[in-house]
Structure 1
């Protein structure tokens, strides 16, 4: 997935209401030809036109990034995760959390109909986990559900996996893929704001730690929680930064435009620490 990205125009083929607050959208289109197989868990960009029934403008990608058609209204761009790609069926599936009309992705998904257009660019992204590690710790929330499912599905049968997931309420709890070494734990916030919750942090701190064994960590979700858990694992459990895929997908009560610069600052600092640790 290191090739230059490409933008594709796809259309809604199916809508599956997975929980009261999550919809899985299946997309189809001739432009899916050449989309890489085995990309579940990878990042993609969704391009939303100002009017959800219109096809969004699509960029061409050059050496210096996207080049947009002159005079065209630029779509709103959001980053999501490939939940499933079936090359034989020609279908790409994404999970979108519904949280009212205060976000373009949520608003689009809540009103989507079969046949609606959507732009997709990608996929891309770094390595998600260290498959050879004997122990895996997966931590997240509904926004990272597709990522965590993709990691579980790709781990060998002998891997030992602890998955800790937090949901806004019990109605958002979903099954995870079957795996012989999986121990899954769901926690409900019962309406508490995500940014104030310590359930996942406390669960990580309380869990028995496999000292002396290599642990690969996949961690994604609300920003304050991701940063706190990441720091606990590094400082109190001694997990090298290079063994953690930690991404603050979103920030409680912030929209993506406001959060964009802070997220990049957090990720840049994390990557710098990982490089320093590798060179130590």
Structure 2
């Protein structure tokens, strides 16, 4: 894929639009799905991608292996052959954030996917969504996919009011922006307490929870153990953990996912 454009959505969120001949056949209805992006190493103009062998991916030698990160399809424009990915720009920028900040039309990036389960049960009576900026693209895509009759609450944690962004949803889901600078930047339970304070509705409920590991696990435990919500009604994925890189968090994330009941 090649970069077509890079546009600031908010001060800390950059939207990169990708295109290219390899977009042909990318599945429609993939907004909000997980993808793997492959970034070039220093000195490369494009990443060296794995190939598909009889037993799965065959990776290039370690000194040529691309940097791999997990992201979300923000929006797929099948008719135009374009794909949008939103990147959070961090102060302590990692490889993906640094690549996005410097992205220019013509730059190359690799992509695999999409994958992952459905984020929402669209015909549920109520929806609850919760996540931080890393989950904002997935939550926004989920909200935009809901029908006009859908009701519920979406809690989105952002550093400050400047990170609020427009989400075009036809649904009746109320969006609550939680500003860390107002609540205290060191507070770790902002999302959990917001979900706990939500009036519990009657009827079926679909939960979409993503973001930092501690918050995701705490909210999921509340929904399962205290509210008795069926596990099949919950999409809960810990995207990251404070102080750990994606490589460092990889095994722990899978352990957490395997032990979620």
Band the TM-score falls in, shorter-chain normalisation: over 0.9
Picking from 151, 174, 186, the partner of 1:183 is 174
Task: Give the 4+ runs in structure 1 shifted more than 6 A.
Answer: none
| Distance across 2 between alignment mates of 1:92 and 1:172 | 22
Deviation readout 1:91-128 (Å, 9 max, x if unpaired): 11100001035411011011111111101111111122
Contact (CA 8 Å) 1:96, 1:109: kept in 2 or not?
Answer: yes
* Matching residue within 42, 65, 76 for 2:67: 76
Corresponding residue number in structure 2 for 1:40: 31
Paired residue for 1:201? 192
Equivalent position of 1:172 in the other structure: 163
Give me the CA root mean square deviation. 1.7
Instruction: Summarize the alignment of residues 46-57 of structure 1 with structure 2, pairs less than 5 Å apart.
Output: 46-51=37-42, 54-57=45-48
1:259 has 2:253 as partner: no
1:229 is aligned, of 219, 230, 244, to 219
Does structure 2 retain, via aligned residues, the 8 Å contact 1:193–1:252? no
- The TM-score with structure 1 as length reference comes to 0.88
Q: Which residue of 1 aligns with 2:82?
A: 91
| Matched positions, count | 260
Q: Extract unaligned runs of 5+ from structure 2.
A: none
Contact 1:53 1:117 in 2 (8 A): no
Asked if the contact 1:97/1:142 (under 8 Å) is kept, the reply is yes
Deviation at 1:53, TM superposition (A): 5.4
Counterpart mapping for 1:127-146 below 5 A? 127-146=118-137
- Conserved? CA contact 1:57–1:72, under 8 Å: no
Q: 1: CA distance between counterparts of 2:11 and 2:137?
A: 17
CA distance in 2, matches of 1:200, 1:151: 18
Q: What's the TM-score once normalised by structure 2's chain length?
A: 0.94
- Deviations along 1:219-270, whole A, 9 cap, x unmatched? 0011111111111111111111111000000112221111111111111112
